[in-house]
Each structure stands twice: as C-alpha cells, then as structure tokens.
Amino acid sequence: MGSRVQLYADIRHDARVDGLSIRELARKHGVHRRTVRQALAAAEPPPRKKPVRTAPRLDPYKPAIDEMLTYDLTAPRKQRHTATRILARLRDEHGATDLSYSTVRDYVRVRRAQIDLEAGRRVEAMVPQDHAPGAEAEVDFGEVYVILDGVKTKCHMFVYRLSHSGKAIHRVYPTGGQEAFLEGHIEAFHALGGIPTRHIRYDNLTSAVVQVIHGGDRLRDENERWVLFRSHYGFDAFYCQPGIDGAHEKGGVEGEVGWFRRNHLTPMPEVATLDELNDKIRA
C-alpha cells in the first residue's frame, strides 16, 4: 500500500510476531527509531500538521473535548459522544459558533484513540494452553429477515466463530458495511475475552479488501481503515481464495451462519429495534 498506516502496521506486526528490537525494526524498515517508537505507541500515525488558521480556532476548546472523551471511557458504548454531539455541546455550552464539523471530527478521531490507549483500553491477546485453542477465528456475514417495527426487513448478521472451540458471537445489523464489520469484531473480542493469537479468516469482503492481487501468495490491497483497525488490536488477517477454491477454508463459520439462522431466527423474530434483537441474542 505504501502508506504510513501500512508502515506502522508492518512495524507493529514485526515487533509482535518476531520480537524485533527498536534498532532492528528501524533497520528493517529504513526509518528513524523515533518513527518506530511512534508506531509501537499507537497504530495511527500522528496527524499531518493542520493549516495554521485552523489550530488557534480549536485550541480553546480542546480541554472541553478531552473531558468529554475521557468521560466516554466509563460511559455505555451506545451513549458515547460522536463528533456531531461534541460540536453541538461546544456550541451550546461554550459558544463555539466558529467551529466546523470537519475540524472537530478530525481532532476527535485522533484524540479518542490516544485517550483510549493512554487509559490502557486495549484488549489483550488470548494466551492458549497449546497452539490450537485461541489461535484462529473465522468471520462471515449472512442475510437474515426480521419483522422490524412491523415491517419485514432484510438485515445482515455478523458471525465471529472460534475455529477450535466453535464458540460463536452473532450480531444483527441493518447493513453489512464497514461500520457493522468493525463493531462486530469489537463486540466479539470483548464477549470472548481476547483476540486470536494467529489470525482471523475472511473471504474478500469489501470492508477489508480493495483489490485481490492475483499471481501467487494471498496478497490483498487492504482498505486503510481496516489496516489501522487490525494494527490497533494486534491481529493478522488470512484471506481465503476467491470463489469455489476458497469455499472450504472457512466452512465452519459459513455453517454457523445457517445453523444459527435456522435454530434461533426461525420464524422471523418480531422486534421494535435491532438493539432489542441483539439484546435477546446476547442473553
């Protein structure tokens, strides 16, 4: 990919998997040791310097934003501040009528990750008793139909299955897009208490893969946001071969999708919201 996000991901991977020192990592990747330290401290590279005109405008409000993001550390996941809500509070409570949404959004995106890392909010990897347990997982989406507020609605079920034990996490979302894809992973990591130590298997879904690079190995041009997510949580992706050649490579999770749909979502569940349905699934 050639981006700084990919560089940071490669450095973090080599440190985690090969145990290379800072000096060795700097030599291998042809960068300064300062860059290596930055990569090991956070998956996301430092933001590019903003135009001078925008920095003074936001500076007076940064302590207030940081306070909101720190509050979110202990708030329920679905009641945490979005950039939109933060901007609204800044305008209502601090008279910040001169701020744009993009300025607040860009600061919140970077600062939230920094505050999370500073607070130690990183899910630790599983420590298996041998190589197989806790080593691998598989992920897939499957279509499901739900009577949602009285209307038959096509939804998408995210399924995350541990390859050794077969234990699985299921969540239903309105779409199978990247937001659902990433949120499903986070739910699974927390529900199962860790992250596979080897890799997670995927087909070539667009939430992760921009392009399949044919001609040997399993090379993929990955979505940059996905690279950043994997680097932050510290796991590797294994991409199955396209088409029928890769059908057997994650058959466990594909079977799980059908089994759960038949045994838990038949007849079609009737709920007011998907939050209600997911609460029932969690129980």
Give the C-alpha separation, 196 to 162, whole Å.
8
Q: Do 222 and 178 touch, CB atoms closer than 8 A? A: no
Q: Do 209 and 237 touch, CB atoms closer than 8 A? A: no
Q: φ, ψ for residue 147 (rounded to 5)? A: -85, 95
3-state SS record for 247-280: HHHHHHHHHHHHHHHHHHCCCCCEECCHHHHHHH
Work out whether the CA dihedral 95, 99, 102, 103 comes out positive or negative: negative
Q: Do 106 and 47 touch, CB atoms closer than 8 A? A: yes
pTM of structure: 0.64
Which is nearest to 253 in space by CA: 173, 188, 198?
A: 188
* Cβ neighbour number for residue 151 with a 10 Å cutoff: 7
Size of the chain in residues: 283
Contacts of 184 (CB under 8 A, 6+ apart): 139, 158, 160, 169, 171, 173
User: Tokens for 257?
Assistant: 């999708």
Q: Distance of CA 282 to CAs 57, 168, 171, 231, Å? A: 44, 11, 8, 27
Beta bridge partners of 157: 142, 172
Q: Do 260 and 159 touch, CB atoms closer than 8 A? A: yes
pLDDT of residue 109: 84
User: Tokens for 214?
Assistant: 């044919």
Give the C-alpha separation, 136 to 237, whole Å.
10
Q: How does pLDDT run along the chain (283 residues), one tens digit per residue?
A: 468 899 999 999 999 999 999 999 999 999 999 999 999 999 988 887 655 454 578 999 999 999 999 988 887 776 788 899 999 999 999 999 989 998 899 888 888 888 887 777 654 444 443 336 788 999 999 999 999 999 999 999 999 999 989 999 999 999 999 999 999 999 999 999 899 988 999 988 888 877 765 545 567 888 889 999 999 999 999 988 776 655 567 778 989 999 999 989 989 999 999 999 999 999 8
